[in-house]
């Protein structure tokens, strides 16, 4: 395979472009050393083909989200579709699952993190069963992070990833493991359908230009460079699909998978996908989503923090749906218990893995007492998941892998999973089946009258700190980070700002007797900034600006990521018409 060298790119064409009968890709971001190993003409041609065939349908699917979500916000509660009843009631069909997929049978502990060099090496050298290389919530989508993430994955697949930090610390992927051990299976999580990648532009056959779809970029570059290599090594290529909101979107992903395999001459089913259930609409259409992806679906993942945000956003105008301080939100709440039970029930009846939620507690090597508390919290969470029937779970730190593994070992023993076990559910449907009404339950939530006992000034400030700290890191090119001994990522910001917005609109009185208002939150933001350690390169002012935009306006914005990305992250060159085109 030929590639465009960095020097020739700079001398002849500052960025490569690729052409297909349907259009071409143009690189609008800067070309740095090593970028040409993944931004090859062949890879861009493959990406252009997928844009030509799938971009229009992606746009249509995104436009359908707004009216659907607005209807829920107006009180038109979602329910199971009548036209797909036959799919739910047919007990005989199964998805492909993990059959014939090397490295996917045992998924007891999955470690997640952005595909930067240090995180990738630490994950691949860990004792986790799999590594979720996350281009979405755990990664700041700077151009360099996006491209270097692909460079790192290409090296990792070939067991030759190395990384040196700015201070000279060396990290290297262990090519050989101790006897009986294996490298964690790589599972890649591309960005969601809603995100653009403005540093790559798609120009169609009529000359119309648009930002590339980030989901296509992340998927296509990893697939193109690694699918054949993995197949030659006796493995498949594995993805985790985020932010799916409907069966129609799952159908789009399935068609994309089939086409990508066809273009590279790979057998259907070489690719496997796990679907994150992160939205209310996806929870309602869960079984239909698996059906649409049955040729590739290996499991369902509980994206519980994004799911909580989705519920808060969906019922932002509903006075009966008010969540307490984040620390009081547990999976024992009836609507979350129903969500977890439905994931397990659907997954196991359809022959695929059910994977639990992220453990956000973070160990602190400087504080053994806090570490012990964090480990105990994770242990209790994972013991509950294993007993419920999940087949595995997520952690964000290598030190939590043994804690999570012990919890699942105690239930699974030597078995890779417990897919054959279909636990009883306690829903209101026939035989205890979880219904849409169970997923929408307000049981266990504080009423507007007693919310004062469940919303504190400290809780509000915790949300503010999580937002400004994570947004500062995100805008500075860093991903998930520790705030107040918890791992915070995109979903943390979304939950935190949505709670603040809703509490203000409801005139919630906090534990200190004060009514939460826009003015008071703005004051808290200023006070938190005043006591925050600053440096000349930080992005706290922009972080506060985004928090005010996302939490203090008349309407609750759908997502902060697209706004923040377009406003603060897109290189100026990427805004130019036909930048650097030959």
The stretch 39-49 carries a mean pLDDT of 97
Contact 140, 219 (CB under 8 A): no
Q: How confident is the model at residue 314 (pLDDT cuts 50, 70, 90)?
A: very high
Tally of CB atoms within 10 A around 196: 20
Q: Report percent pLDDT > 70 for the chain.
A: 93
The first and second tokens of residue 310, run together, are 């989705």
Task: Please give the mean pLDDT across all residues of the chain.
Answer: 91
CATH superfamily of the domain spanning 451-567: Malate synthase, domain III (1.20.1220.12)
| 3 band by pLDDT with thresholds 50, 70 and 90 | very low
DSSP 449-510: TTGGGT--HHHHHHHHHHHHHHHHHHHTT---EEETTEEE-HHHHHHHHHHHHHHHHTT-B-
Q: Which two tokens stand for residue 31?
A: 């070309």
CA separation for the pair 18, 29 (Å, rounded): 15
Nearest to 136 by CA among 569, 561, 570: 561
What does the pLDDT read at residue 450?
A: 80
What is the Cα–Cα distance from 329 to 321, expressed in whole angstroms?
Answer: 13
Which residue is catalytic, options 342, 465, 489, 497?
Answer: 489
Reference 502, options 542, 469, 550, 541; nearest CA is: 550
Active site residue 127: no
Residue 576 has pLDDT above 60, yes or no: no
Summarised one tens digit per residue, pLDDT across range 354-413 is: 999 987 777 777 788 888 888 898 999 999 999 999 999 999 889 899 999 999 999 999
Q: Looking at the whole model, is its pTM more than 0.75? A: yes
Does residue 435 carry a pLDDT above 80?
yes
Active site residue 442: no
Average pLDDT over residues 210-216: 97
Whether the CB-CB separation of 323 and 499 falls below 8 Å is answered with yes
Identify the DSSP state of 267. P
Looking at the chain, the domain(s) classified CATH 3.20.20.360 span 44-438
133, β-bridge pairs: 113, 188
Residue-wise pLDDT tens digits, 68-110: 999 998 889 999 999 999 999 999 999 999 999 999 999 999 9
For the cut 70, the answer to whether the pLDDT of residue 444 exceeds it is yes
Token readout for 157 is 């697949």
Say if residue 299's pLDDT is above 70.
yes
Of the residues 24, 108, 189, 497, which is catalytic?
Answer: 189
Determine the average pLDDT of the residues in 28-34: 93
User: What is the band of 494 on the pLDDT scale with cuts at 50, 70, 90?
Assistant: very high
Q: What is the dihedral of CA 566, 571, 575, 579, to 10 degrees?
A: -150
Token pair in block for residue 166 = 């700015």
Strand partners, 482: 487
Cα angle value 503/507/511 (rounded, 5°): 75
Q: Residue 319: pLDDT band by 50, 70, 90 thresholds?
A: confident
User: For the domain bounded by 44-438, which CATH number is listed?
Assistant: 3.20.20.360
């Amino acid at each position: 395979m030929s590639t465009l060298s960095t020097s020739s790119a700079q001398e002849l064409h500052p960025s490569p472009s690729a052409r297909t009968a349907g259009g071409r890709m143009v690189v609008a971001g800067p070309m740095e050393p090593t970028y040409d190993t993944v931004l090859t003409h062949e890879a861009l041609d493959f990406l252009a083909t997928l844009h030509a065939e799938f971009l229009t349908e992606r746009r249509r699917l995104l436009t359908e989200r707004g009216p659907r979500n607005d209807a829920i916000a107006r009180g038109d509660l979602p329910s199971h579709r009548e036209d797909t009843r036959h799919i739910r009631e047919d007990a005989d069909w199964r998805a492909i699952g993990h059959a014939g997929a090397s490295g996917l049978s045992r998924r007891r502990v999955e470690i997640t993190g952005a595909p930067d060099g240090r995180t990738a090496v630490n994950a691949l050298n860990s004792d986790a069963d799999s590594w979720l290389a996350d281009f979405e919530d755990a990664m700041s989508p700077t151009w360099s992070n996006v491209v270097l993430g692909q460079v790192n994955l290409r090296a990792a697949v070939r067991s030759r990833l190395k990384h040196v930090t700015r201070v000279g610390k060396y990290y290297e992927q262990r090519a050989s493991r101790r006897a009986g051990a294996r490298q964690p299976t790589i599972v890649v999580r591309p960005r969601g359908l809603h995100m653009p990648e403005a540093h790559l532009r798609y120009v169609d056959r009529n000359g119309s230009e648009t930002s590339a779809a980030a989901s296509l970029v992340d998927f296509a570059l990893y697939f193109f460079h690694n699918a054949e290599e993995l197949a030659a090594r006796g493995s498949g290529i594995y993805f985790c699909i985020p932010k799916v909101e409907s069966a129609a979107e799952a159908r789009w992903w399935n068609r994309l998978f089939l086409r990508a395999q066809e273009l590279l001459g790979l057998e259907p089913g070489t690719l496997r996908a796990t679907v994150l259930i992160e939205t209310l609409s996806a929870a309602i259409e869960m079984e239909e989503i698996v059906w649409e992806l049955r040729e590739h679906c290996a499991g369902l993942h509980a994206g519980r923090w994004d799911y909580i945000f989705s519920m808060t956003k969906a019922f932002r105008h509903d006075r009966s749906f008010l969540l307490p301080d984040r620390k009081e939100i547990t999976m024992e709440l009836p609507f979350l218990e129903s969500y977890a039970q439905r994931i397990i029930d659907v997954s196991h009846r359809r022959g695929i893995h059910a994977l639990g939620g992220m453990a956000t507690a973070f160990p602190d090597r400087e504080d053994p007492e806090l570490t012990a508390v964090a480990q105990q919290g994770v242990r209790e969470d994972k013991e509950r998941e294993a007993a419920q029937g999940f087949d595995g779970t997520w952690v964000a730190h290598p030190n939590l892998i043994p804690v999570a593994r012990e919890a699942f070992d105690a239930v699974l023993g030597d078995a890779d999973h417990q897919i054959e076990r279909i636990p009883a559910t306690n829903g209101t449907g026939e035989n205890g089946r979880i219904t849409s009404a169970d997923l929408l339950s307000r049981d266990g939530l504080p009423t507007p009258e007693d919310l004062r006992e469940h919303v504190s000034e400290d809780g509000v400030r915790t949300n503010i700190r999580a937002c400004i700290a994570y947004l500062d890191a995100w805008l500075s090119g860093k991903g998930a980070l520790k705030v107040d001994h918890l791992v915070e990522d995109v979903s943390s910001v979304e939950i935190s700002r949505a709670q603040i917005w809703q509490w203000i609109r409801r005139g919630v009185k906090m534990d200190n007797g004060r009514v939460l208002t826009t003015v008071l939150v703005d004051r808290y933001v200023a006070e938190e900034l005043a006591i925050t350690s600053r440096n000349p390169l930080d992005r706290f002012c922009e972080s506060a600006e985004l928090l005010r935009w996302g939490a203090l306006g008349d309407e609750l914005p759908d997502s902060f990521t697209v706004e923040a990305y377009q406003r603060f992250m897109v290189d100026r060159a990427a805004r130019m018409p036909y930048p650097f085109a030959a």
